A = this chain, B = another copy of it.
Amino acid sequence: MKKRILTGDRPTGKMHIGHLIGSLRNRVKLQYEYDQFVMVANVQALTDNFHNPEKVKESIGDLLCDYYAVGIDYDVTTVFIQSEVPQIHEIFIYLANFATVQQLSHNPTIKTELAQKGFEKSTPLGFYIYPIHQAADICCVKADLVPVGRDQAPMVEDCRELARKFNQTYGVSVLHEAQALFGASRNLPGIDGNAKMGKSLNNAIYLADTTEELRKKVFMIKTDPNRIRATDPGTVEGNTIFIYHDTFNENTAEVEDLKERYRRGTIGDVEVKQKLYDAMERQLGPIRERRREAEGKKAELLERVIENNNRVRAIAQEVVDQMKDAMKIRFS
């Protein structure tokens, strides 16, 4: 039997090429090797967007189109919506007995995000508890593996520990101890060179961007700030435009040639950018096409996902029943 993977996204906006490189491409590969579940984490999205439910709702449709566009195969991958699997919340409540407040308050991700969101003095409880809620997500589908970046390894380790504590306390092996799956996922800087790409940073290229928008944004990409004229020698290493070339331009000979001339100061930025635009268009053009197609059948995609929820609920209910058996609180 194939091992099961759980992954997912918070529906808080359209997906960008950072997502494509960081996770989506990897999922397209993983879906044929594993039994892949992709969760649309709308309950989690609401924890810091509860004042704006319309945005979360709209973004679900966007996510489904983005998934379709990049090649997530809805016949192979089980895409489901978090809020449609209430068993997750039940699992959360029982796992919460095995987590401590101190553990959460020292969680580095929570600490960083609280600071970023200015939540230090008034932290919504729903947001604060989400690392444990994530453990419930993972347990609810009996996931064996969770594809994450290296920085998220502690999150998966915390989840394993919770599952282990539950199993040990009741002398059972009810909860899967999921493992992190480190993939080929890479981090892509924003067009302004910022290490993170994001909507709020206004430095993202979206999968839904038109070819004109793509072109405009490619020509805005940050290059070597010390290179004033085309005849100045430039630095390639850590240069955003070449990170993009390395990521998107499959013509490696061309990339090597561009780098060579950039270093010597025998090429203008315009040529480097034009070639990047051409390369990105070759990759993003077909995705954009499929995305347009997906927009036309958004309702169909949503229906498909709502059907999947039945399958997920059945798995999650099994987990809940087994947890309740272990805790001697199963009556029916």
A positions within 8 Å CB-CB of B: 42-43, 46-47, 50-51, 53-54, 56-57, 81, 83-84, 86-87, 89-90, 92-94, 96-102, 104, 121-129, 132-133, 169-170, 302, 306, 309, 320, 324, 326-329, 331-332
Contacts and interface: CB of A to CB of B under 8 A. Distances in A.
Nearest to A42: B329
Residue of A50, A56, A86, A96 ringed by the most chain B CB atoms within 10 A? A96
Q: List the 6 shortest-distance A-B pairs measured between CB atoms, nearest first.
A: A96-B126, A97-B126, A89-B89, A50-B97, A96-B125, A101-B123
Nearest to A82: B329
Contacts of A133: 93
A46 B125 contact: no
Given A97-B125, A100-B124, 14 more contacts: A46-B327, A47-B96, A50-B97, A57-B329, A81-B329, A84-B331, A86-B87, A89-B92, A96-B126, A97-B124, A99-B125, A101-B123, A125-B132, A309-B332
Q: Please classify the interface of chain A as helix (H, G, I), strand (E, B), loop, or mixed, using the class held by over half of its residues.
A: helix
Q: How many copies does the complex hold?
A: 2
Contacts of A101: 123-125, 128
Contacts of A302: 331
A21 to B, nearest CB: 29
B331 A97 contact: no
A86 B96 contact: no
Contacts of A56: 328-329
Given A83-B329, A89-B92, A328-B54, A102 B124 contact: no
A332 B133 CA distance: 23
A57 B126 CA distance: 30
A168 B329 CA distance: 36
A62 to B, nearest CB: 14
A51 B169 contact: yes
A122 B104 CA distance: 11
30 contacts: A43-B93, A53-B326, A53-B328, A53-B329, A54-B328, A57-B329, A81-B331, A83-B331, A86-B87, A86-B89, A86-B90, A86-B320, A89-B89, A89-B90, A89-B92, A89-B93, A90-B90, A93-B133, A96-B124, A97-B127, A99-B126, A100-B123, A101-B123, A101-B124, A101-B125, A101-B128, A104-B125, A125-B129, A129-B129, A309-B331
A39 to B, nearest CB: 14
Nearest to A45: B329
Nearest to A122: B100
Contacts of A53: 170, 326-329
A159 to B, nearest CB: 14
A93 B170 CA distance: 25
A67 to B, nearest CB: 17
Nearest to A302: B331
A185 to B, nearest CB: 29
Contacts of A83: 324, 329, 331
